[in-house]
Amino acid sequence: MSSEATARVVMNVPREKAWEKLRDISMAHNYVPGIVKTEVTTSKKEGVGASRKVYQSETKGLDETVIEWNEGHGFLIRLHRGDAGAPPPFKDASFRYRIEDAGNGQTALTTSLIFTMRWGAFGEFLHKRLLAGVFRSTIRDVALSMKAYYETGEPTTPEKLKQLKADLKAKTSH
């Protein structure tokens, strides 16, 4: 059974400017928490078939290949380790970045992790009981980090993300 974790933020950047940044698949380390390096691994730099490797350390990489491209509005990437498929706990996984005009020179960004868990009923149990909140939180962190990076042009550090989350909590608790 396929599941999805989604987050949405509104950025103070026009959609065309947001698209200039989003279409550059070599920049994920600037806004995906935990990623320290991004390397484009295909001669194709954008569009269906373009691929990158993102690293959580200098040696531990995850392949991401564009499987759907919506010019000016976003793309869908498949998460995999070479030909071995998605990393555990996923049977398959993809990540969607979508932008749309939000009016007043702003852009709505939606980030989504779409996945199927491994291990059948046990995997579903793990997802529902333990991982659903972790996945939602992680996807929200990506959206917040992208918003900060797109608005300032500065990479989102762990310290900056912590402040963004505290600011969001303060704003939503009033």
* pLDDT tens by residue, 80-132: 998 889 999 999 999 999 999 999 999 999 999 999 999 999 999 999 999 99
What pLDDT is recorded for position 41?
Answer: 97
Q: 40 or 167: whose pLDDT is higher?
A: 40
Do 68 and 62 contact (CB within 8 A), yes or no? Answer: no
Domain 2-172 homologous superfamily, CATH = START domain (3.30.530.20)
Q: What angle do the packed helices 15-22 and 132-152 form, to 10 degrees?
A: 110
Report the alpha-carbon distance of residue 77 to residue 66 in Å, rounded. Answer: 4
> CA 149, CA 50: separation in Å to the nearest integer?
22
47-69 tens-digit pLDDT: 999 999 999 977 778 999 999 99
Residue 14 pLDDT:
98
Going by pLDDT thresholds of 50, 70 and 90, the confidence category of residue 172 is: confident
- What pLDDT shows up at residue 174? 64
Rounded Cα distance, 128 and 9, in Å: 25
Cα–Cα distance, 54 to 87 (Å, whole number): 13
Per the prediction, the chain carries an average pLDDT of: 94
pLDDT, position 173: 76
Query: pLDDT tens, 6-35?
Result: 999 999 999 999 999 999 999 999 999 999
Residues facing 92 on adjacent strands: 116
Bridge-based pairing state of the strands 51-55 and 74-80: unpaired
